[in-house]
Amino acid sequence: MIINRALHDLEAILKSIDVIKTGRLYLNGSVGKRYEAILSEDIKALVLPSPEDGLSGAISLGLKILQQLPSAK
């Protein structure tokens, strides 16, 4: 029951950020692989192999966000 609720919540979040429109979804780590196995078919069809590991991806995303911030002077 807990896993089904978590899966329902995850899919609701993915749909709210319009992951279907982007056409791609990257799932990292062992939890990502477990979720991928039980996702609905429309979401599962969007899963692509991750271009980098989770840490590298987090650092890249952080750098992109920092570059968008106004510089402090």
Say if residue 21's pLDDT is above 90: no
* Residue 20: inside a domain: yes
Say if residue 61's pLDDT is above 90: no
Q: Please count the residues of the chain.
A: 73
* Residue 16: inside a domain: yes
* Residue 15: inside a domain: yes
Contact status, residue 43 vs residue 25, Cβ threshold 8 Å: yes
Domain that holds residue 62: 2-68
Q: What is the mean pLDDT of residues 18-26?
A: 85
Picking from 25, 18, 19, the residue whose alpha carbon sits closest to that of residue 49 is 25
Contact status, residue 46 vs residue 20, Cβ threshold 8 Å: yes
Share of the chain above pLDDT 90, in %: 15
Q: What is the pLDDT of residues 2-17, one digit of tens each?
A: 988 988 998 999 888 8
Cβ neighbours of 22 (radius 10 Å) = 10
Number of domains forming the structure of the chain = 1
* Residue 73: inside a domain: no
* Residue 47: inside a domain: yes
* Residue 17: inside a domain: yes
